[in-house]
DNA sequence: AATTAGCACTTAGAGAGGTAGAGTGCTAAG
DNA sequence: CTTAGCACTCTACCTCTCTAAGTGCTAATT
């Protein structure tokens, strides 16, 4: 499969099918593209492409549509990432620069990406496990309750109200605060799982119980913040995309709500030479997503967190890849600054 | 319109239509319900009901389906709130008792409600403006940055990193903290909008600028936490519901994502004698939702925040009302405890 | 006055051809 | 290797018919 014209034919089929949303035949192909040969020749090429499983015909007298394998080859070898328009770049800047906190940034990114690509956007929360603890605070709330606050260097803040089981003097709270802070500051969150349990051993006898309660709360807080989440936007675009094709929208919506599915998918994908990961149709490990493709890439520290879009396999891959990459870059920049 | 049998016929039509999802005729009606009269009599009643605009026929030779007005009368006069099954009660308890923080509680509630009703569940975040400030904390982060944390008595915690513009000694941070805390503690958040701006006047000259920065951040934090949000669950149920009826799913999904729409709708609805608010079809102030109904009720302090479900007008109102009410009650209890 | 049986009437929907157009594969010639 | 030509195969669409469902009306009955 190295004949350059055949590759050109495949590209033309993919592009036309994405554009017009209907099977494309040999005749329109030569009309719409400067292929320099007749439709009969194209037919021979198409037969060969079908032989290789790159395209298929819904029925005898219809044109051809790309298979998953065809899209794959297109993405790997034929797609040049389409540069964003000036208007799109402007949109990214104006959209994200006005964001305030982390939640806001992620939500805006998702919305933006869904508007740019007219697809469903998915943004994973920055991974907490790789983050370091920037600050830890213990605040007395009155009674036996204190508030435990964790701030990581990714900018996320988690907190939980803890009942220490006994009323403590402000000075004792300060002791606990200092102790925990000294032990935890600047540690990666993962490391805390080991250091924290040991902490209570070194504490004064009278503070044993409260310290243990606090440690337990801290650990459970680590767990729940490591519990990863995603932000969605543009699910309505699914409805549009599903209009003309028998990709029933229900299971896809379920998969999206079942965040675990998307999280696993995002982490399992790995980026290709374009710096973008693409999972096409049945390549997806989930049957519900057999009719959809996901274009994703990493952002943030070590590109550990993912951002991407999900749409029908018949999607505009070059544009999607460009938009995803651009948003990821901008996201990284904002989070780093 | 007081003939009791006619009301009975309307009830039967609503129930059968909800159940079987197809127009119901006079014949099946007498077969399925013990009405004690012949189909001809029912036909007369149906003609009368149609005359009053309570039911309509899609075409001449189809049965009747309830109109929005018909559902309205059903809900107001004919529906007795269906008690939940034991299994459902158990589900509510086990689902919500294991929740940890506020976010978790709301998310679980939404999921639970969507599963109970097989519809889209909507949970509004507790209104912050009515809440009181339980605690305020200022934490030095190093450099000129501090973290401002607000904790309200509804259990929500908001925070923001503030750049004070100059490096402060810990003692100065303490001064600011004490000052703001004294001024704000136990105040309703709404009141803070007035007290906070005045605060900076009383402060020592050297702390003027940082105090102003802190005050500004606090006000903007109040604004963004007053910015109301909703939690959604079960949007996939829309797809199921839309299968058989020409309620195009796209606009509805858009309206749901456009949280403003749902927020306005929820706040504008008011509860009827069942303690539940129902907005049916074209009663909704938004055209996109003309084919859907919303069943909602308040929860939490003063029932100021709303929880509800959205589904096709052809929905099981009694069950939905029961589920919504039950979840709202349980939610209130958890948040109060 | 309300109910009922009977009947004529309307209509959507399902099926049965019949046709046109699109697209293919193949063959034979350039 | 390419191309023109052609026979072949489908689907999509139209029309026609027929059936089943359901109605409204009238006249008889309680």
CA of A61 vs chain B CAs: smallest distance (Å): 30
Cβ under 8 Å to B: A residues 86-105: 100-101, 104
- Compute the nearest-CA separation of B5 from chain A (Å): 40
Could you say which of B141, B233, B239 has the minimum Cβ distance to residue A250?
Answer: B239
Strand ranges of the sheet holding A120-124, from the earlier edge strand across to the other edge: A230-233, A120-124, A305-312, A292-299, A277-280
**Chain A residues touching B100 at Cβ < 8 A:** 160, 220, 224
* Helices (H) then strands (E): counts for chain A: 13, 10
Cα distances (Å, whole numbers) of residue B306 to B109, B151, B230:
12, 21, 9
- Residue among A15, A241, A278 nearest A120 (CA): A241
* Strand ranges inside chain B, DSSP E: 55-56, 65-66, 120-124, 133-142, 145-152, 157-163, 230-233, 277-280, 292-299, 305-312
**Torsions phi, psi of A293, nearest 5?**
-120, 155
Across B29-42, average pLDDT: 93
What is the structure's pLDDT at B41?
95
> Does the CB of B56 sit below 7 A from strand D?
no
Rounded to whole angstroms, the Cα distance separating A204 from A201 reads: 9
> B188 at the A interface (CB within 8 A)?
no
A149-200 residue pLDDT tens = 887 776 677 778 788 888 888 888 888 888 888 888 788 888 888 888 888 8
Whether A70 shows a pLDDT value over 60: the answer reads yes
DSSP SS3 for B28: helix
Chain B residue numbers touching A141 (CB-CB < 8 A):
134-135, 151
B273, pLDDT greater than 80 = no
Q: Are A322 and A84 in contact (CB under 8 A)?
A: yes
Least confident window among A65-69, B208-212, B219-223, B282-286: B219-223
Taking CA atoms, B322 is separated from A64, B13, B270, B316, in Å, by 53, 21, 17, 10
CB contact set of A215 (below 8 Å; sequence gap of 6+)? A196, A197, A199, A200
CA of A40 to C1' of D4 (A): 9
Among B141, B238, B239, beta carbon nearest to A135: B141
- Decide which of B154 and A146 is more confident: A146
Dihedral of CA atoms B28, B33, B38, B43 in degrees, nearest 10, equals -60
Residue B281 contacts residue B313 (beta carbons within 8 Å): yes
Facing residues of A142 across strands?
A: A145
> pTM of the entire structure?
0.84
Nearest to A159 among B157, B240, B250 (CB): B157
**Cα separation, B54 vs B57, whole angstroms:** 11
Please tell me the least confidently modeled range out of A16-30, A237-251, B1-15: A237-251
Residues in chain B: 337
Res A1: pLDDT: 57
Least confident of B121-125, B221-225, B237-241: B221-225
In this predicted structure, what is the pLDDT of residue A327? 95
C-beta atoms of A250 and B233 within 8 A:
no
Cβ atoms of A92 and A112 within 8 Å: the answer is yes
Residue A316 CB-density burial (10 A; 0-12 exposed, 13-18 middle, 19+ buried):
buried
Show which positions of strand D are touched by protein (CB under 7 A). Answer: 2-5, 9-11, 20-26
3-class secondary structure, B299? strand
- From residues 20-39 of B, list those within 7 angstroms of strand D by Cβ: 23-28, 39
**Distance from C-alpha of B11 to C-alpha of B74, rounded to nearest angstrom:** 6
**DSSP calls for B92-148:** HHHHHHT--SHHHHHHHHHHHHHHHHTSEEEEEPPPSTT-BEEEEEEEEEETTEEEE
DSSP state of A67: -
- Give residue A336's pLDDT band: very low, low, confident or very high (50, 70, 90): confident
What is the pLDDT of chain B when averaged over all its residues? Answer: 88
Phi, psi of B131, rounded to the nearest 5 degrees: -75, 160
Q: Closest nucleotide to A27's CA, by C1' atom? A: C23
Q: What is the pLDDT of residue A187?
A: 84
What lies within 8 Å, CB to CB, of B93 at 6+ separation is B330
Give the best-scoring range by mean pLDDT among B58-62, B200-204, B247-251.
Answer: B58-62
Ranked by mean pLDDT, which of A8-17, A226-235, A263-272 comes out on top?
Answer: A8-17
- Is residue A292 classed as helix, strand or coil in its secondary structure? strand
Determine what percent of chain B is predicted with pLDDT higher than 70: 94
The per-residue pLDDT for A184 is: 83
Beta bridge partners of B95: none
Contact B124, B296 (CB under 8 A): no
Asked if residue B61 keeps its beta carbon closer than 7 A to nucleic acid strand D, the reply is: yes
Strand-strand pairing, A157-163 and A145-152 = antiparallel
First-residue to last-residue Cα distance in chain B: 47
CA distances from B317 to B87, B122, B264, B271, B276 (A): 19, 16, 22, 14, 11
Residue pair A302/A328 in contact (Cβ under 8 Å)? The answer is: no
Distance of CA B267 to the CA centre of its chain: 9
**Alpha-carbon separation of residue B44 from B30, B64, B254 (angstroms):** 13, 13, 42
CA dihedral B11, B14, B15, B19 (to 10 degrees): 170
- Chain A positions in Cβ-Cβ contact with residue B159 (cut-off 8 Å): 149, 157, 159
The vertex-A51 CA angle with A46 and A52, nearest 5°, equals 100
3-state secondary structure of A297: strand
Distance CA B253, CA A201 (A): 54
Q: Please tell me which residue, B257 or B185, carries the higher pLDDT value.
A: B257
Q: Do the Cβ atoms of B297 and B328 come closer than 8 Å?
A: yes
Is 80 exceeded by the pLDDT of residue A130? no
**Does B134 touch chain A if contact means CB atoms closer than 8 Å?**
yes
Handedness of CA A165, B103, A231, B325 (dihedral sign): positive
Task: Give the H/E segment covering residue A157.
Answer: strand A157-163
Chain A hits for B135, Cβ within 8 Å: 139, 141, 147
B219 — pLDDT class (breaks 50, 70, 90): confident
**Measured between alpha carbons, how far is B307 from B121 in angstroms, rounded to an integer?**
8
What is the rounded average pLDDT of the residues B326-336? 88
Exposure string (b/e) for A212-238, b if CB count within 10 Å is 16 or more?
A: bbbbebbeebbeebeebebbbbbbbbb
Reduced to 3 states (helix: H, G, I; strand: E, B; else coil), residue A273 is coil
Q: How many contiguous H segments (helices) and E segments (strands) does chain B have?
A: 13, 10
Chain A residue with minimal CA distance to B259?
A233
Looking at per-residue confidence, does A12 or A216 come out higher? A12
Q: What pLDDT score does B243 carry?
A: 65
Averaged confidence pLDDT in chain A: 88
Of A208-222, B75-89, B215-229, B271-285, which gets the smallest average pLDDT?
B215-229
With CA atoms as reference, report the closest residue to B28 among B45, B42, B8: B42
* Separation between Cα atoms, residue B335 and residue B330, nearest integer Å: 9
Instruction: State the pLDDT at residue B245.
Output: 63
Return residues 28-87 of B near A (CB < 8 Å).
Answer: none
Q: Which residues touch strand C (CB under 7 A)?
A: A 23-28, 39-40, 43, 46-47, 50, 57, 60-64; B 5, 36-38, 40-41, 44, 59-62
């Amino acid at each position: 499969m190295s004949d350059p014209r055949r590759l050109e034919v495949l590209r033309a089929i993919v592009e036309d099918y994405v554009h017009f949303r209907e099977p494309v035949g040999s005749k329109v192909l030569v009309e719409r593209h400067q292929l320099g040969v007749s439709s009969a020749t194209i037919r021979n090429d198409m037969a060969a492409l079908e032989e290789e499983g790159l395209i298929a015909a819904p029925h005898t007298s219809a044109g051809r549509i790309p298979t998953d394998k065809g899209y794959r080859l297109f993405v790997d070898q034929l797609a040049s990432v389409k540069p964003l328009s000036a208007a799109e770049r402007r949109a990214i800047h104006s959209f994200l620069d006005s964001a305030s906190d982390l939640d806001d940034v992620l939500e805006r990114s998702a919305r933006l990406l869904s508007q740019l690509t007219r697809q469903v956007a998915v943004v994973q929360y920055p991974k907490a496990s790789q983050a370091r603890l920037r600050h830890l605070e213990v605040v007395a709330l009155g009674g036996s309750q204190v508030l435990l606050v964790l701030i990581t260097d990714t900018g996320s803040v988690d907190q939980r109200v803890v009942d220490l089981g006994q009323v403590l003097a402000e000075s004792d709270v300060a002791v606990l605060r200092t102790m925990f802070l000294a032990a935890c500051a600047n540690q990666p969150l993962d490391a805390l799982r080991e250091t924290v349990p040991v902490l209570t051993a070194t504490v004064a006898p009278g503070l044993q119980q409260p310290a243990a309660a606090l440690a337990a709360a801290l650990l459970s807080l680590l767990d729940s913040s490591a519990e990863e989440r995603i932000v969605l936007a543009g699910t309505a675009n699914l409805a549009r995309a599903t209009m003309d094709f028998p990709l029933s929208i229900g299971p896809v919506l379920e998969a999206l709500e079942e965040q675990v599915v998307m999280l696993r998918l995002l982490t399992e994908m790995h980026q290709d030479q374009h710096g973008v990961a693409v999972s096409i149709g049945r390549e997806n490990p989930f049957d519900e997503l057999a009719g959809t493709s996901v274009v994703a890439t990493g952002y943030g520290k070590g590109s550990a967190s993912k951002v991407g879009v999900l749409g029908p396999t018949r999607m505009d891959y070059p544009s999607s890849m460009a938009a995803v990459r651009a948003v990821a870059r901008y996201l990284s920049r904002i989070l780093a600054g």
